[in-house]
Amino acid sequence: MFSFLKKKSPETSAPPEQPSTTPSAAPPSEAASAPSPTHSETTLIVAETVATEPVAESVAAPAEDTRLGLFARLRQSLSKTRSALTDSLSSLILGRKTIDQSLLDDIETQLLSADMGLEATDHIVKALTQKLDRKQLANPQALLDSLKVELAAMLRPCEVPLVIRKSDKPYVILVVGVNGAGKTTTIGKLAKRLQGEGHKLVLAAGDTFRAAAVEQLKVWGERNHVPVVAQPTGSDSASVIFDAYQSACARGADVLIADTAGRLHTKDNLMQELEKIVRVLRKLDPDLPHETLLVLDSTTGQNSLNQARTFHKSVNVTGIALTKLDGTAKGGMVFAIAKELKLPIRYLGVGEKVDDLRPFEAEQFVQALFSDN
């Protein structure tokens, strides 16, 4: 399935296409201490697919392509959060005859227990209290409608889709996050999505800490017919990503997505490694990476907010992909992220399949949370 190009000599390492804009041939001094891309023993593994049969899961059924079908799937994937948060909120509100402070207190408790976080909960309850004081909440249904409006308003500033600028070629997406958050899976899904939009991709297997991570990315590359640039486990991650950038330039790729390791964020060396990757990229082009996408696992609830702060401090996160919303009742944390981090939420991961990555839409998310059918 893969062809392995052993970079033993400059002749064998020649790229298949000549670069239009090739970065300086020598790696920056930062990367030179690590296995250099031009080092005679460096193995550049380019996974090229020769698969002719489409992978079943990568082909979306036509019916699922409709907006209605997508909404139904989003709704279904949020079922755990819906029963933990919105179903009980709805029955709490609609079950009351009068709207008073004690009802608002009960709403507050519900929101907090659904991982919405203090700030977001406070914001919502204050807004509802104001409306109650101004006599703008005539009946329980008006309160419920008002709650939905406030929730959507809180999410709206985070609805900033990822736009691949053609002028930034290759557009570099650095994917960061702790182990198990869903980085590699998200890269696979994102590769498929961007490919569907007509972009030519290269993937960088920058998680050189775990052998399985490289293999996992290569399988995704094979499925998506995308070349994967990798080096053996234990190689320098910045060096792999540097190689991949050069390969992406040589191939005329539109997008380079780089995977990274995710050992616990409390260990300083991970942050140092990520900072080094960014420094190496910035020597090639000060605008790199164009997107630093932090992958957060929604099942970890409030804990992921702390992770986000740590990563943001080190590598200046520009967007968030929130995974595993299908497996958790803690979907309320989307609101906590919106209120506390104020970063664009680019995508939601709603399953393990290749099509289970959804661009984040505030209104649609709230609708799916409250929709009965």
Identify residues 123-142 at the interface with ligand GDP (CB under 6 A).
none
Q: Is there binding between residue 179 and ligand GDP (CB under 6 A)?
A: yes
Q: How far apart are CA 370 and CA 82, in angstroms?
A: 7
**What amino acid occupies position 290?**
H
x/- track of binding to ligand GDP for residues 305-344 (CB under 6 A)? ------------------xx-xx-----------------
Q: Which does 115 bind (CB under 5 to 8 A by kind): Mg ion, ligand GDP, none?
A: none
Four-residue CA torsion sign, 287, 289, 291, 296: negative
Which residue has the CB atom at the shortest distance from ligand GDP? 349
What angle separates helix 237-251 from helix 268-284, to the nearest 10 degrees?
A: 30
Q: Is there binding between residue 213 and Mg ion (CB under 5 A)?
A: yes
Q: Is there binding between residue 184 and Mg ion (CB under 5 A)?
A: yes
CB of 272 to ligand GDP, least distance (A): 19
Q: How far apart are CA 156 and CA 366, in angstroms?
A: 10
Residue 183 or 324 having the CB closest to Mg ion: 183
Q: Is there binding between residue 351 and ligand GDP (CB under 6 A)?
A: yes
Helices within the chain (DSSP H only): 29-32, 67-77, 79-81, 87-94, 101-113, 118-133, 140-155, 183-196, 211-224, 237-251, 268-284, 303-315, 333-340, 362-370
Cis peptide before 170 (omega within 30 of 0): yes
Q: Is there binding between residue 180 and ligand GDP (CB under 6 A)?
A: yes
Q: How far apart are CA 238 and CA 244, in angstroms?
A: 10
Q: Which does 322 bind (CB under 5 to 8 A by kind): ligand GDP, Mg ion, none?
A: none
Q: How far apart are CA 350 and CA 356, in angstroms?
A: 5
What are the tokens at 166? 């053609």
Strand partners, 319: 293
Q: Is there binding between residue 182 and ligand GDP (CB under 6 A)?
A: yes
CB of 185 to ligand GDP, least distance (A): 3
Among 262, 289, 301, 344, binds ligand GDP (CB under 6 A): 262
Q: Which does 181 bind (CB under 5 to 8 A by kind): ligand GDP, Mg ion, none?
A: ligand GDP
CB of 217 to Mg ion, least distance (A): 7
Among 144, 343, 349, 369, binds ligand GDP (CB under 6 A): 349
Q: Which does 273 bind (CB under 5 to 8 A by kind): ligand GDP, Mg ion, none?
A: none
The stretch among 43-51, 92-100, 284-292, 349-357 that binds ligand GDP (CB under 6 A) is 349-357
Q: Is 147 in contact with 89 (CB distance < 8 Å)?
A: yes
Q: 83-110 burial string, b = 16+ CB within 10 Å, else e?
A: ebbbeebbebbeeeeebeeebbeebbeb
Residues whose CB falls within 8 Å of the CB of residue 273, separated by 6 or more in sequence, listed in order: 237, 238, 260, 261
The stretch among 6-14, 170-178, 179-187, 244-252 that binds Mg ion (CB under 5 A) is 179-187
Give residues in contact with ligand GDP (CB under 6 A). Answer: 177, 179-185, 262, 295, 323-324, 326-327, 349-352, 356
Interacting residues toward Mg ion by CB under 5 A: 183-184, 207, 213
